[in-house]
Amino acid sequence: MIIILKKDAPQEKVQELIRQFERQNIKIHESRGVQEYLIGLIGDTSHIDPEDIKSIDIVAQVKRIQEPYKKANRKFHPEDTVVDICGRKIGGGHFQVIAGPCSVESREQMISVAQAVQKSGAGLMRGGAFKPRTSPYAFQGLREEGLELLVEAKKATGMPIVTEIMDASHLPLFEQVDVIQVGARNMQNFELLKALGKVDKPILLKRGLSSTIDEWIMSAEYIMAGGNPNVILCERGIRTFETATRNTLDLSAIPILKQKTHLPVIVDPSHAAGIRSLIEPLSMAAIAVGADGLIIEVHNDPEKALCDGAQSLTPEAFDSTMEKIKKTVAFFGKGMD
């Protein structure tokens, strides 16, 4: 971290600040030019918030040199993390498609969709039991019952299941869940992240609606710092001024994340656009830009879906899109084993 001091900073204040850092075992390199006066902090500064330093009267600007994340940082872990979910691998050249309905609605629905997406080539099954809804009057998901139906579909097909958690206190209900999803609205629910750091299951961490890439990595770092190294990042669109799509899918984030972190990154084209006809082209783009997987909504009867029907594919449409996904993944040199 480099701290640019005000040119007229009184020496006694500068020395007091330096002593404060030294007490935290940080070494200081002082440098005074004609135009600038700065001190460099040498050592572990990950616990220091640059915003705090900025508040000090004699400080003009603060510039972080080292990223504030360690466990998620590719610098300290150059090889790709490969997350293994009951034998299905994501990351490091392994590509997976996660498919299923937005909401779990009934046993028949779950089993029929699970069988269909499995046949088309999906590796994991998704389905929402706990549903975050903007309105308290909207359908909130089947909750415990939904989790049971997911487990039944897993038994019927052998596919691992991915489903969203909304509160740390629900964790005991998630024992048979294979991948626990953290939704966009909970990306900075730090108490939940801490609880998931102690869990022995992969976490699918969606990007918050208005979270920067760095904030997102820091949320992964919360989970990893707690002891859970298996984090899968999921880009699902950010909130911008554009209203033609529900959110703006930030595909540039994929190569940026690949440089900054070793974690696998997947893309959710269904929620990003909120438009059925965009799922296929955005899936192609996600593969081309370097994503390690896709999570796609598939519903046996999208027009009667209790939520988010507009962004669900029918099993037939999914099957046709999967044909293209398989060829494109192969073209770009990844495997879907």
Interface positions, 246-275, toward a second copy (CB under 8 A): 246, 248-256, 259, 272-275
Query: Do 283 and 86 form a contact (C-beta atoms < 8 A)?
Result: no
Among residues 115, 209, 229, 326, the one that binds a second copy under rule CB under 8 A: 209
Among residues 51, 79, 175, 200, the one that binds a second copy under rule CB under 8 A: 51
Position 135 contacts a second copy (CB under 8 A): yes
Q: DSSP readout, 24-69?
A: TT-EEEEEE-SS-EEEEEES--TT--HHHHHTSTTEEEEE--S-S-
Percent helix / strand / coil, the chain, rounded to 5:
40, 20, 40
Position 2 contacts a second copy (CB under 8 A): yes
Among residues 18, 290, 320, 326, the one that binds a second copy under rule CB under 8 A: 290
**Smallest distance from the beta carbon of 208 to a second copy, in angstroms?**
8
Among residues 3, 114, 125, 286, the one that binds a second copy under rule CB under 8 A: 286
Sign, CA torsion 171/176/177/180: positive
- Site track for a second copy across 10-49, x = CB under 8 A: -----------------x-x-x-xxxx-x-xxx---xxxx
CB atoms within 10 A of CB 210: 11
Of 119 and 239, CB closest to a second copy: 239
- Six token digits for residue 7: 């040119």
Considering only residues 157 to 186 of the shown chain, the ones binding a second copy according to CB under 8 A are 166-170, 185-186
Residue keyed to tokens 């088309």: 120
Longest Cα–Cα distance of the chain, Å, equals 75
Among residues 215, 316, 323, 337, the one that binds a second copy under rule CB under 8 A: 215
Nearest to 50 by CA among 104, 82, 4: 4
Position 287 contacts a second copy (CB under 8 A): yes
Considering only residues 71 to 110 of the shown chain, the ones binding a second copy according to CB under 8 A are none
